[in-house]
A and B are shown apart, each in its own frame.
Chain A
Amino acid sequence: MNAETSADWRDEIFEVFQTHDIKQVYHVPDAGHSRLIEHCQRSNAIRTVPLTTEEEGIALAAGAWLGGQRSALLMQSSGVGNTINMMGLTKTLRFPFLTLITMRGDWGEFNSWQYPMGQGTPKVLEAMGVLLYSVETASEVKRTVDAGARAAFHGGQSVAVLLRQKLIGIKDFGKKKTAK
């Protein structure tokens, strides 16, 4: 994991959210997004809503847009599979949609259970007509999320920014005990 510097990419995403006047942020708790989630929770300008499953976030985003507010959904690649039918709403209603996805099963993953959905994530999102932006270096995060937000809120698109595992770092539980 990167050392916390003044220009941490998670802090930069929060800045982009503010720049684009994002008012509602939905998430299923996630290690990769945790620092950003805490920023949003502490903000008076953003309503942060925890979900029981990621598909709620698509319907919430549709409702927010009906009411005139912009939103973003934070999830992990494993959650993408939960959203697929609901993702169709973005196409049917044609409303701007932005999601930031922390990737697992992507690069150096130790947990084999993460690979099927991690590897499937770009394909299923593409199949549902979601534009994919991918970022794997910290210095590219801010402009990529900004570009994604522009494509969504100005261009009316459904956009997923994939925060690759190379960027987030390989999850490591440290010393492990394995059942004999």
Chain B
Amino acid sequence: MSKATLQRRPLVKKILDGADDNLLVIAGLGSSNWDITEAGDRPLNMPLWGAMGAPVSMGLGLALAQPNKRVLVITGDADLLMSLGSLATVATQQPENLAIVVLDNEKFGETGNQASHTSPLNNGPTESGAGADLALIAKGCGIADVGIVRDSGEVAQLVKDARTKKGPIFRLIKVMVEKLEFVMPPQDGAHLKDRFRQALLGHP
């Protein structure tokens, strides 16, 4: 397996660049939360501080409720590994407005960078996973439009796909392991929910 070269923060910033009221974003707990917040905290971001395994399902519920808005789920490999079945549930509904972007650093980042199941097999006593291919899993679950992004030349197309391509689409991005600053949004879940609804619906 080739060593990842993409950095998650500038990548997420590009994906969210110029986000308007048409873009609804849900980010998984930990790094993905800090990533979208670094790009710019906004009411139509729903950054999770817990509820591991929730983002894809939450994105689906939101996409079905708001078919005219673009719903973008940004999360990590370990978060998605906890809810692989949710990909099959997405496929039963085929939401055209849903994009799922998974930042795969092959680690459980928040707990000390332990190898996740997407790390290579037979990679030493502490760094081994299963070489699990989340894009292949998504495809096998019934999401036809999947892709893997590994280098900077593919980023412009990724941004376009994530923002506008007919869904459901699934993109796996192989990113570096980095030590990054925590950039934190408000933590109060009720506040995050209320400000999101206020911005979207005009009432909490």
Binding site for B on A (CB under 8 A): 23-24, 47, 49-53, 55-69, 71, 85-86, 88-89, 92-95
Q: Which residues of B contact A50 (CB under 8 A)?
A: 89, 92
A52 & B50 in contact (Cβ 8 Å cutoff): no
Contact assessment for B65 and A66 in the assembled complex, using a CB-CB cutoff below 8 Å: yes
A1 and B191 alpha carbons, distance in the complex (Å): 46
Q: How far is the CA of A61 from the CA of B58 in the complex (A)?
A: 7
Which residues on the B side are within 8 Å of A51 (C-beta)? 85, 89
Contacting chain A: which of B5-13, B123-131, B158-166, B194-202? B194-202
Assess whether B89 is in contact with A59, with CB atoms less than 8 Å apart.
no
Neighbouring A residues of B56 by C-beta, 8 Å: 59
**Chain B residue, CB-CB nearest to A69:** B65
- CB pair B51 A92 closer than 8 Å: yes
A67 and B62 in contact, given A94-B190, A95-B193 (Cβ under 8 angstroms): yes
Let me know if B58 and A59 touch, CB within 8 A: yes
Q: Which among A56, A59, A66, A92 is the interface contact of B190 at CB below 8 angstroms?
A: A92
A24 pairs with B89, CB closer than 8 A: no
Q: Does B155 contact A (CB under 8 A)?
A: no
Q: What are the residues of chain B within 8 A of A53 when measuring CB–CB?
A: 85
- Chain A residues closer than 8 Å to B55, beta-carbon distance: 59
The answer on a CB contact under 8 Å between A67 and B61 is: yes
- Once the chains are docked, how many angstroms separate the CA of A42 from the CA of B100? 29
Total chain B interface residues with beta-carbon distance under 8 A = 36
| Closest Cβ neighbor of B84 among chain A residues | A52
Q: What are 13 pairs between A and B in contact, CB < 8 Å?
A: A59-B86, A60-B57, A60-B61, A62-B58, A63-B64, A66-B193, A67-B64, A68-B197, A68-B201, A69-B64, A92-B190, A93-B190, A94-B189
Of chain A, the residue at the smallest CB distance from B202 is A68
* A100 → chain B closest CB, angstroms: 17
CA distance in complex: A68, B202 (Å)? 10
In chain B, positions 18-57 with a C-beta closer than 8 Å to chain A are: 24, 26, 46, 50-57
CB distance from B16 to the nearest CB of A (A): 18
Complex Cα distance A59/B55, Å?
7
Residue among A24, A49, A63, A94 with the highest chain B CB neighbour number at 10 A: A63
Query: What residues of B have a CB within 8 angstroms of the CB of A94 in the complex?
Result: 189-190, 193
Give 10 nearest A-B pairs by CB, closest first. Answer: A63-B61, A67-B65, A52-B85, A59-B57, A60-B61, A92-B189, A63-B62, A59-B54, A63-B58, A69-B65
Pick the residue among B69, B83, B193 that contacts A56 (CB under 8 A): B83
- Indicate whether B177 reaches chain A with its CB closer than 8 angstroms: no
Contact of A88 among B50, B85, B192 (CB under 8 A): B50
Shortest Cβ gap from B24 to chain A (Å): 8
In the complex, chain B residues whose CB is within 8 Å of the CB of A60: 57-58, 60-61
- Check B88 against A52 for contact (C-beta < 8 Å): yes
Q: Which residues of A contact B24 (CB under 8 A)?
A: 66-67
Please determine whether B193 and A93 come into contact, CB atoms closer than 8 angstroms. yes
